[in-house]
Homo-oligomer: A and B are copies of this chain.
Amino acid sequence: MNDKNICADPCPIARCLAFLGDTWSLLILRDAHFGLTRFDQFRKSLGIAPTILTRRLATLTEEGMLEKRLYSERPPREEYVLTAAGRDFLPVLVMIGAWGHQYRGEGLLVRIQDVKTGEDIKPVAIDAVTGAKIGTRPLRFVLPDGN
């Protein structure tokens, strides 16, 4: 093991943390997946200051997670809807939730159910190549220069 810098540009984790490593942004994305789309819905759900919400929604829009959509011409009103990138972020939120459920699970919790079965989901990350659960087989980070 060394202490080579794997922080900067090349790491895909670092890259998306640039905007993602912010609590509000993640909670906005969570609420968007929950079905919220409007400024005041986010504001009330999160108890966030409007200043911050404006900024976060703008960033998430610039980053391509949300897009603005006009839902009323008169008066002009816009809502924020998830893009494909935003929708594909759901597995991340779900895995965070699974970890939180296991390690921060005291008290009543929000659960995520499969609509058809009506059962709580049990999210697991697997490697599609080997079919093994992530964490059960040794993994290795490989730097772009070959390591």
- A-side residues, CB < 8 A to B, are 1, 3-18, 20-27, 30-31, 33-36, 38, 40-42, 44-47, 64, 85, 87-105, 107-117, 119-130, 132, 134-135, 137-144
Contact = CB atoms under 8 A, between A and B. Distances in A.
A42 B111 CA distance: 35
Copies of this chain, complex-wide, total 2
A134 B90 contact: yes
Nearest to A100: B12
A128 B124 contact: yes
A115 to B, nearest CB: 4
B12 A101 contact: yes
Given A1-B36, A95-B125, 16 more contacts: A6-B31, A12-B104, A13-B97, A14-B27, A16-B103, A21-B22, A21-B26, A34-B141, A89-B99, A91-B98, A91-B125, A114-B130, A114-B138, A115-B137, A117-B129, A124-B126
A6 B15 CA distance: 28
Contacts of A130: 114, 117, 121
A11 B119 CA distance: 17
